[in-house]
Chains A and B, each alone.
Chain A
Amino acid sequence: MDPHRLETDRRMTRARSSLALLAALCLLGLAAPHATQAQSAAAVLAQGARAYEDLELDNAAGLLRRALAFRGADALAPRDASRALMYLAATELLREHTDSARAVARRLVLADPRFRPDELVFPPQVLTFYEGVRRATPAVLARAPADTAIRPGAEALTVRLFASTFHDVTATLATEAGRALRTLYAGPIGDSLDVHWNGLDSTGAAPPNGRYSITVTSLDRQRRVVRILRLPLEVTQGRVDTLSHPPPPADSLLLPERQPMGPGLRALAPGALAGVAIVVLPSVVANGEDASAARFVVGGSVTIAGIAAFLSHHPGKAIPANVAKNRAVRDAWRREDALVASRNAERARGMIGIRAGAPVLLTPEAP
């Protein structure tokens, strides 16, 4: 084997290896920020939980607070947020920051009244502590269908309430301004409770269109208001579509109403190209000679023929037959749509549509 060739091969191999390494570093450099972002909140929570299990409490508290500080799309999912709060409450308790632990535990109870800590993960003292805070923090959570329709008096909207602990509540239907229209429930709540509204106010009349709310007030043993949950409702009379409207006719069903440009351009192109060729080709074929001007006669004739061919297709001109056919298709769709609308109106007569918004929890004063 030629020693020079061997040396050259070795250099080539080294150069290839260096290039591959450089490419890999570039790829890593590009991927690294995305990886950091992707692990963010959930990964920090996992690190915090590990630190708690290793009894690195200061580190755990920092990590868990960091995990809870993420906002927007990067924020923890509600279930993970509950876990993070529980770990943080336990960490603060073990660090003997009892007030901080109580505040964190209360925050967890208000955010998720149904949350129960895992007995295999947390020690009895933490479980007892959380149980105490939960019992001392009466709160409810409401779940209602986002969009529904009922026949007032005959059917009812059901709102399910979940309580953190056994306590008394009152549920009222109120206007947007807060004026009570009807008391839906007043009494104790244990784990959960269904509250029904049959679409009527206290006088037996259906309320007019507008914004309302179901307000659930939590009371302590001294009958003081400790929490208010407001579930916004939007009530619409007789506008409930039970039959879906037909979609407007698809473009594929409609014929072009104007002559397209394509055929005209396809007719123009051969004439224009041949015309240009006649003008240009002498300088290409017979370089160095002055071509006669007579060629312009032929070139012009060909180009004019191309323009005439283009115009003969009447680009952009309306096509009455297609316009009439499309009108018939659209009219048929409008008739069908009107028929569906009238049937919906007939079915919706006497019905109200109810759209529920996101519930809001208010704490008038610290319990």
Chain B
Amino acid sequence: MRRALLLIFLGFASAAQAQTRWNVSFGIGGGSEIARSRIDTTRERVSGLVLGGEAVATRGKVVARLRYGQGRVTNDTAGRDVAEGEALLGYKARPWLTVWFGPHARTFVVPGQSDRRWLQWSGRVTARGTLFPERVESFVELWQGITGSLNRPAESATGGGAEAGLVLRLARRPVWGRLAYRVEQGRASGGSRRETVEKITLTVGYTPLR
């Protein structure tokens, strides 16, 4: 299954190469994250700050997106380091609609224990709408896990998520900002383990003017 997905991913990548030159955008940001774990009847809520960066490369209708973030989430009794990332390849089916595919992963590092890593291959759809032309637009992104895994205990996993928010651009300036709310949930196949993450992020980015 993963091989097939990888082949599709590479197929998109080779199609992208056939296009014209790449246009790359960068962004850095941070946000407040709340993670809720549920293992059988045990519940745990941790929250904290996660900082990260992203790069979006566009070539014609093909888009590639890399995101990485890390931080620490805690509560009164415990704390964890968290690292998360995604690598997506997308296709702009319409000027306002992009379809994505690719993996994303989140790892929780608990001192004295082995890392707990969620990995999901997902399909996504992003819709954008203009509020003020070339200045402000809103977006909604939905994703659904196609296949995935949890490393400890070793189980297959699935999940889904959504992100929505606002993107602001300065007139004739290469700088942009984004305010977004993201919620996602991973579920282990046994049904005993569930991880829900909510995140509000503020990102500032740079897109070279053409």
- Contact residues of A with B, CB < 8 Å? 267, 269-271, 273-274, 277-278, 281-282, 284-289, 291-292, 294-295, 297-299, 301-302, 305-306, 308-309, 312
Contact = CB atoms under 8 A, between A and B. Distances in A.
B181 to A, nearest CB: 4
A285 B194 CA distance: 12
Given A278-B165, A285-B160, A302-B164, 10 more contacts: A274-B164, A278-B181, A281-B142, A285-B185, A292-B198, A294-B198, A298-B164, A302-B138, A302-B165, A302-B166
Given A271-B138, A274-B139, A289 B200 contact: no
A270 B161 contact: no
A267 B131 contact: yes
Interface string B24-58: 00000000101010000000000000000000000
Contact of B164 (A281, A291, A292, A312): A281
A295 B162 contact: no
B196 interface: yes
Interface residues of B, number: 30
What 4 A-B pairs are tightest by C-beta distance, nearest first? A270-B129, A274-B138, A309-B131, A298-B181
B76 to A, nearest CB: 17
A297 B199 CA distance: 12
A315 to B, nearest CB: 15
Nearest to B168: A305
Judged by DSSP, the binding face of A is helix
Nearest to B34: A292
Contacts of A312: 132
Contact of A294 (B32, B128, B139, B194): B32
Contacts of B139: 274
A269 B162 contact: no
Nearest to B159: A285
Contacts of B179: 298, 301-302
A282 B196 CA distance: 10
Contacts of B136: 305, 309
Nearest to A307: B131
Interface string B56-70: 000000000000000
